[in-house]
């Protein structure tokens, strides 16, 4: 372990204690994943010293890596088990996908911006996340060939939950998506069972825009 590894491990531990455990994240699998994934490697070198702070950071292409707490909150809300297959829309830096990959069986993640897709792919290889599968395309259409999914997480805000994604949720499946206008959204949890689809709000949040056929249109 290098001196840098030790330094970042300490910062990560502090992040988990102050920002995650202190705010009602109790799922042991989520806490273990947040303690393990080296978040500083998911941002540019210039921002590495800020990687464990309590806010989102720019990752290029006008996109952001979410605040650590939001990642933990959304992951916990998915109630993941080790056998689950998860679809993520909006790979971005790849940090959320790595957290999911620590807990679930397999993660399918979709990104529509090529530079971010390439960068995340390289990082997954480097960190040996063999259970993450990627696609470079419009994620609002989901990933039909691999559906149904036990869990779906959308990490960009949409005017409403795309029906195509709800259709790709397994019975017993859970989906988390920020829904609202482009300035503020509600984190919505959608569950599907034999009786149909239920929705509940988990509170306010602010994400970059989901772009695409069932998002904000083409930009
Ligand atoms: N989960 C990311 C957060 C990325 S921000 C992380 O952990 O870093 C949201 C991402 O969603 C951006 O990278 C953006 O390009 C992507 N995105 C927006 N609309 C999309 C769409 N229709 N399909 C796939 N990705 C999309």
180 within ligand 1 shell (Cβ under 6 A): no
Residue 200 falls inside a structural domain? yes
| 79 classed as catalytic | no
Atom of ligand 1 nearest to the CA of 71: 7
- The domain tally of the chain equals 1
Instruction: Give 3-12 contacts, CB < 8 A, sequence gap 24+.
Output: 8/38, 8/40, 8/48, 8/51, 8/52, 11/40, 11/51, 11/52, 12/38, 12/39, 12/52
What CATH number corresponds to the domain at position 190?
3.40.50.150
Residue 46 inside a domain? The answer is yes
Q: Which atom of ligand 1 is nearest to the CA of 153?
A: 1
Reading the chain (219 residues) residue by residue, the pLDDT tens digits are 789 899 999 999 999 999 999 999 999 999 999 999 999 999 999 999 999 999 999 999 999 999 999 999 999 999 999 999 999 999 999 999 999 999 999 999 999 999 999 999 999 999 999 999 999 999 999 999 999 999 999 999 999 999 999 999 999 999 999 999 989 999 999 999 999 999 999 999 999 999 998 888 875
Residue 215 in any domain: the answer is no
User: What b-and-e string marks burial along 165-177, b requiring 16 or more CB atoms within 10 Å of the CB?
Assistant: bbebbeeebbbbb
Could you tell me which residues come within 8 angstroms of residue 202 by beta carbon, excluding any fewer than 6 positions away? 73, 77, 176, 186, 187, 188, 189
Residue 52 lies in a domain: yes
Say whether pTM exceeds 0.85.
yes
- Cβ neighbourhood burial of 121 (10 Å; 0-12, 13-18, 19+): middle
E strand map for the chain: 57-60, 63-65, 85-89, 106-111, 132-136, 149-154, 169-180, 185-193, 196-205
212 in ligand 1 pocket by Cβ < 6 Å? yes
């Amino acid at each position: 372990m290098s001196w840098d590894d030790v330094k970042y491990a300490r910062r990560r531990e502090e992040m988990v204690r102050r920002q995650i455990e202190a705010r009602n994240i109790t799922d042991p699998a989520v806490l273990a994943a947040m303690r393990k994934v080296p978040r500083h490697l998911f941002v540019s070198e210039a921002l590495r010293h800020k990687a464990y702070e309590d806010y989102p950071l720019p990752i290029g292409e006008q996109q952001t890596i979410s605040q650590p707490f939001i990642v933990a909150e959304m992951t916990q809300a998915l109630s993941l088990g080790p056998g689950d297959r998860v679809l993520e829309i909006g790979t971005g830096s790849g940090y959320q996908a790595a957290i999911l990959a620590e807990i679930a069986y397999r993660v399918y993640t979709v990104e529509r911006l090529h530079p971010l897709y390439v960068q995340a792919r390289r990082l997954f290889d480097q960190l040996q996340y063999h259970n993450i599968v990627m696609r470079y395309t419009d994620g609002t259409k989901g990933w039909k060939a691999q559906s149904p999914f036990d869990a779906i997480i959308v990490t960009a805000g949409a005017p409403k939950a795309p029906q195509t994604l709800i259709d790709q949720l397994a019975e017993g499946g859970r989906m988390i998506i920020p829904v609202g206008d482009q300035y503020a959204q509600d984190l919505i949890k959608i569950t599907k069972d034999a009786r149909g689809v239920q929705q509940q709000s988990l509170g306010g949040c602010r994400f970059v825009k989901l772009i695409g056929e069932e998002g904000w249109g083409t930009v």
